[in-house]
Structure 1
Amino acid sequence: MTTAFYPIGTPGQAWGAQERAQWLARQRVQRSHADEVVAKIDALRGRFDVSQYGQLDYPSGHYPLLAIRSRGWDDALPVMLVTGGVHGYETSGVQGALKFVDRHAADYTGRCNLLVVPCVSPWGYERIQRWNALALDPNRSFVIDSPAPESAALMALVAPLRGRFLMHIDLHETTDTDESEFRPALAARDGKPFEPGEIPDGFYLVDDSENRQPAFQQAVIEAVAKVTHIAPADGDGRIIGSPVVAHGVIEYPLKALGLCAGISDARYTTTTEVYPDSPKATPEQCDDAQVAAVRGALEYALAHG
């Protein structure tokens, strides 16, 4: 007999409409996108250009999708993309992106054009949820004819600039709830068995296995190491099941998996992973780790072209 490991669905059977509706009914607003994200973006309008590139329209909420651009955009300069909150529950990705713009984006005036999307998934941000309201993972949905409106809107925003991006950094977290909630939910949704894993204690990066940039990754790791600790490999030389290819670095095929960091065709790409549940890291350190990662990525890309 197969034991249920998640309160929704039948073990071994993928969810249908009824199970997705049950899952949606469990989701509750726990914080305010308007107060914690939109208000901070609005406060930046005097220094940067802010635009709405789309809107999420779910029965359970309507959300503007907002992007921040360098003022005085110069087509002769390289374009750098910073994205956060693709998974809405990953707080430091959102707040780290906002903190970077507020405190450091002006340092790059005349050096590059910045396009920053601090919160790709505002519905998920409010509910501290990895998925969107359709029980889809936006960070597996950056594909042609994407079924996730968050992903489709970001791809449409980026499309006119594809080929001009020099760098794209996508800001994420790996949390204890990945193991206690989100991976069990994924297995249940897809009718697969849940296989427990191990959450790494510390910061790490995900490089693109189809466009490896090891020196770039290490530059980012070195910048972040000044702020917080880097995740060690487990006993098998892996982080979240993937071989560690360098200190604090694993690899995924970004485009094949429909990941956000694969949408820009930038020369330099990476996905950050902060561990906010570590006893050795505070929320401020987590935000600062994301800021350090962005700055380290920008400086390397600008120095090496």
Structure 2
Amino acid sequence: MSYPIGTPGIPWGDAEKLAWFNSRDVKRSYAGEVLSRIDALKAQFNWQQYGALSLDAAKFPLWAAKNNWQPGLPCALVTGGVHGYETSGVQGALDFLEHRAKDYQGRVNLLVAPCVSPWAYEMIHRWNPKAVDPNRSFVENSPAEESAALMALVADQGVQFGLHIDLHETTDSDETEFRPALAARDGKDYEPDGIPDGFYLVGDTENPQPEFQRFVIAAVEKVTHIAPPDSDGKIIGSEVVQHGVINYPLHKLGLCASITGAKLTTTTEVYPDSPKATAEECNAAQVAAVCAALDYLLTQN
């Protein structure tokens, strides 16, 4: 599969990245679908604007919500929309704030960043405006301002988080757009892969926490189906270590779930293009995963 930008085998330079940026079209509204829901929740949480995208600071403010923090309670971070095109990560985080976050007041100190990459949300794309993947950029001197802003927010809290759950999706467009674009950007051959049908989790190779992952999967399985392994016993090229769970080296890859150093970390992945799931079901699966992760955290404290 050839990609319409660049020359096969040659990594993109500034001209190709600009051509890619100029080929993007707005497909939905951050203000209409995200900021409007945040505005409706302003009275229920302590909201902090922790930055804004330099492309258009007025259009793309970055917001995070805190409940009423109390000394001595465990702290948990929930993030969505690191990949802006992954809709249920954003809408699931907002659904959690609207319907379930109140259940944890006085039990867990919550910090929720529902849409880390708002430009990508509008474009329905994986990358930021500079053709950088924010979820490979949670590193020192990050090349992605979205990632740098979130890391600064977490550091400013001055606490040790016990939990971080990062909400994602795996979509058919991974194969039709994003992986071909990645291969073109990096001057590599595109190698097709399959898309798992169902929900799965990505734990940390260096800190897998299998009982925690199992607890979350069991809760989500009541809401939606869990992705089976492929014929090689893998999901997206990684060995399935238990039902619905694979592991990545989170810190080495610069993934969002590595930023707190929490004992309990996981990345959710739902499949919104499945014929067996609806958008509402995917959002509900994200909420179920967040609640299960928080419930498990409470058993450890």
Give the TM-score category using the shorter length: over 0.9
Alignment-derived partner of residue 172 in structure 2 = 176
Alignment-derived partner of residue 228 in structure 1 = 224
Q: Would you identify which runs of 4 or more consecutive aligned residues in structure 1 move more than 6 Å?
A: none
Give me the whole-angstrom Cα distance separating, in 1, the residues matched to 2:234 and 2:159: 33
One-letter identity of the residue aligned with 2:50: Y
Alignment-derived partner of residue 241 in structure 1 = 237
Q: Is the 8 A contact 2:51 2:62 kept in 1?
A: yes
Give me the whole-angstrom Cα distance separating, in 1, the residues matched to 2:63 and 2:274: 31
One-letter identity of the residue aligned with 2:179: R
TM-score (norm 2): 0.98
Q: Is the 8 A contact 1:13 1:192 kept in 2?
A: yes
Alignment-derived partner of residue 104 in structure 1 = 100
Question: Residue 87 of structure 1: CA displacement?
Answer: 0.2
Q: Is the 8 A contact 2:31 2:59 kept in 1?
A: no
Alignment-derived partner of residue 66 in structure 2 = 69
Describe how 1:98-247 pairs up with structure 2 within 5 A: 98-161=94-157, 164-247=160-243
Question: Residue 106 of structure 1: CA displacement?
Answer: 0.5
Alignment-derived partner of residue 23 in structure 2 = 26
Question: Residue 75 of structure 1: CA displacement?
Answer: 2.6
Alignment-derived partner of residue 268 in structure 1 = 264
Q: Is the 8 A contact 1:162 1:265 kept in 2?
A: no
Q: 2:120 is paired with a residue of what secondary structure?
A: helix
Alignment-derived partner of residue 48 in structure 1 = 45
Q: 2:53 is paired with a residue of what secondary structure?
A: strand
Aligned partner of 1:38 among 32, 35, 38: 35
Q: 2:55 matched to 1:58?
A: yes
Q: 2:12 matched to 1:15?
A: yes
Q: Is the 8 A contact 1:163 1:265 kept in 2?
A: no
Aligned-residue CA RMSD (Å): 1.2
Deviations 1:159-201 (A, max 9, x none): 1346510100000000000011000000000001100001000
Pick which of 59-68 and 27-36 moved more.
59-68
Sequence identity of aligned pairs in percent?
A: 64
TM-score (norm 1): 0.97
Cα 1:153/1:74, change in 2 over 3 Å: same
Q: Is the 8 A contact 2:138 2:256 kept in 1?
A: yes
Give me the whole-angstrom Cα distance separating, in 1, the residues matched to 2:157 and 2:54: 26
One-letter identity of the residue aligned with 1:97: A
Give me the whole-angstrom Cα distance separating, in 2, the residues matched to 1:234 and 1:61: 45
Cα 1:214/1:162, change in 2 over 3 Å: farther
Q: Is the 8 A contact 2:83 2:135 kept in 1?
A: yes
Give me the whole-angstrom Cα distance separating, in 2, the residues matched to 1:75 and 1:12: 55
Cα 1:60/1:179, change in 2 over 3 Å: farther
Q: 1:302 is paired with a residue of what secondary structure?
A: helix
| Corresponding pairs, count | 301
